[in-house]
Amino acid sequence: YTHIYTQNNSSFVSFSILAEVRDKLCSFSPSYEKCNIFSEYGTISFFTGRKALQERQRQQMARGLPKQKPIPGVKQVIVVASGKGGVGKSTTAVNLALGLMANDMSKSVGLLDADVFGPSIPKLMNLKGNPELSDNNRMIPLTNYGVPCMSMGFLVDDVAPIVWRGLMVMSGIEKLLRQVDWGSLDYLVVDMPPGTGDVQLSITQNIPIAGAVIVSTPQDIALLDARRGAEMFKKVNVPVLGLVQNMSVFQCPKCNHETHIFGSDGARQLADTLGVTFLGDIPLHITIRETSDRGQPVVISSPNSPEAAAYRTVASAVVQRLQKVSS
């Protein structure tokens, strides 16, 4: 989209005037295509279309991407992403962070909830409250289970809907990336918002990322979006550490019968097709859901369970891949 912010509610502006603005814009720049117009609450938006988008990306690449600035004190940033919402990205991010620590207690791990629209880390990590400010005026993360966490959920009322416009989202992200005092961390696990839009791109362009972990269920529709996610990271030169297949098998707690509710091997096959590593399989299990809802992630609350073991396996595969891509 191209957004034009108006001072007044643009529903007072007639569409013929908007069409004139659009046509002027289109004549100024070949990267705008004539397209539909819609307006809401002070914003006029144009669909710029695929051709225009590609042209803009090409121009941006040619101009050079924004300079990435590391997060002070953080050695490696691992982003956890999914193309589609609700596939278990946040649950994986939390248990991955805890799994990284469980595998090697000498490592310090932090968790950043970049899902500014639907922050779930506060609930998953059983954390509440407002961050205090450090001497250098940066926010001090809230800590549980030894993992310092930062989330937009600590900064806004948890029942207030997060209705933000593009620029506000970017400044929120900027706050989370730049104004947090992490101390010293070996790994910062970032729970990304679902999808492959501006927010995700802006994060990848602003900080150096050691690698991306993509979470998908084996279902076709999720895989399609996971593929888009992987392609996006490749395009912006972020190493794809691999794919995690979530909810691949459900084992009936009563009779132990196994059912592949979302399909069985789709993410493994997608990893093969894309030439990326398959990092592991997480079963669909009630313990994972229940412990997440209680704010006691399974890696912490049932460390001897097969589910916790599955997350620790993913964590060691991630570390192996990190070593490989950074060598």
Ligand X SMILES: Nc1ncnc2c1ncn2[C@@H]1O[C@H](COP(=O)(O)OP(=O)(O)OP(=O)(O)O)[C@@H](O)[C@H]1O
The DSSP code for 160 is S
Among 164, 192, 181, residue whose Cα is nearest residue 80: 192
- List the interface residues with ligand X, window 285-304 (CB under 6 A): 285, 288-289, 292
Min dist. Cβ of residue 174 to ligand X (A): 21
- List the interface residues with ligand X, window 116-135 (CB under 6 A): 118, 120
Torsion-angle region of residue 249: left (phi > 0), alpha (psi -120 to 50) or beta?
Answer: beta
Sign of CA dihedral 57, 61, 67, 72: positive
- Residue 82 within binding range of ligand X, rule CB under 6 A: yes
- Residue 216 within binding range of ligand X, rule CB under 6 A: no
- What are the DSSP calls for 186-231, one per residue? EEEEEEPPSSSSHHHHHHHHHS--SEEEEEE-SSHHHHHHHHHHHH
| CA dihedral of 136, 142, 148, 150, whole degrees rounded to 10 | -80
Binding mask 188-207 for ligand X (x = CB under 6 A): ------x-------------
Choose between 58 and 289: whose C-beta lies nearer to ligand X: 289
The answer to whether the beta carbons of residues 143 and 111 sit under 8 Å apart is: no
252: amino acid identity, one letter: C
- Residue 210 within binding range of ligand X, rule CB under 6 A: no
Min dist. Cβ of residue 93 to ligand X (A): 8
Choose between 47 and 117: whose C-beta lies nearer to ligand X: 117
Min dist. Cβ of residue 113 to ligand X (A): 9
Min dist. Cβ of residue 12 to ligand X (A): 36
- Residue 263 within binding range of ligand X, rule CB under 6 A: no
Window contacting ligand X (CB under 6 A); options: 78-86, 132-140, 234-242, 261-269: 78-86
Window contacting ligand X (CB under 6 A); options: 39-47, 64-72, 84-92, 96-104: 84-92
Window contacting ligand X (CB under 6 A); options: 18-26, 81-89, 126-134, 319-327: 81-89
The DSSP code for 246 is E
Min dist. Cβ of residue 284 to ligand X (A): 4
Min dist. Cβ of residue 322 to ligand X (A): 22
Total residues contacting ligand X by CB under 6 A comes to: 20
Min dist. Cβ of residue 318 to ligand X (A): 17
Min dist. Cβ of residue 257 to ligand X (A): 17
Helix (H, G, I), strand (E, B) or coil at 125: coil
Window contacting ligand X (CB under 6 A); options: 20-28, 177-185, 266-274, 279-287: 279-287
For residue 66, report the phi and psi dihedrals to the nearest 5 degrees: -55, 150
Return the residue matching tokens 């809907």: 161
Q: Which of 113, 115, 181, 225 binds ligand X (CB under 6 A)?
A: 115
61-69 contacts: CB < 8 A, separation 24 or more?
Answer: 65/205, 65/236, 66/205, 66/206, 68/205, 68/206, 68/207, 68/208, 69/178, 69/206, 69/207
Binding site for ligand X (CB under 6 A): 82, 85-91, 115, 118, 120, 194, 246-247, 282, 284-285, 288-289, 292
